[in-house]
């Protein structure tokens, strides 16, 4: 059997694409209100639904956050 060594960079990018924002909700955490957005991600032929903090999504995808409300 022949084995080939390959080098993999630790800073290899991993692309996630925001497909659609499904829902949003406000959660009270102590004295703060945190808005969460349910989003559908597409990455490496896999669809994944996750609940993300609105401010993080707004930083990455500013024009799309207003589509939910």
- Is residue 58 classed as helix, strand or coil in its secondary structure? helix
Residue-wise pLDDT tens digits, 41-68? 777 677 777 778 877 777 777 665 455 4
For residue 28, the enclosing domain spans 17-67
Per-residue pLDDT at 63: 63
Residue 2 within a domain: no
Residue 5 within a domain: no
pTM, to two decimals: 0.50
Per-residue exposure over 44-63, b if at least 16 CB sit within 10 Å of its own CB, e if not: eeeeeeeebebeebeeeeee
Tokens of 52: 């993300």
Can you give the CATH number for the domain in which 58 is found?
2.40.50
């Amino acid at each position: 059997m022949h084995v080939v060594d390959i080098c993999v960079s630790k800073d290899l990018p991993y692309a996630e694409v925001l497909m659609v924002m499904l829902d949003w909700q406000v959660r009270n955490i102590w004295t703060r209100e945190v808005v969460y957005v349910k989003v559908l991600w597409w990455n490496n032929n896999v669809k994944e639904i996750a609940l993300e903090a609105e401010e993080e999504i707004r930083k990455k995808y500013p024009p799309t956050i207003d589509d939910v409300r």
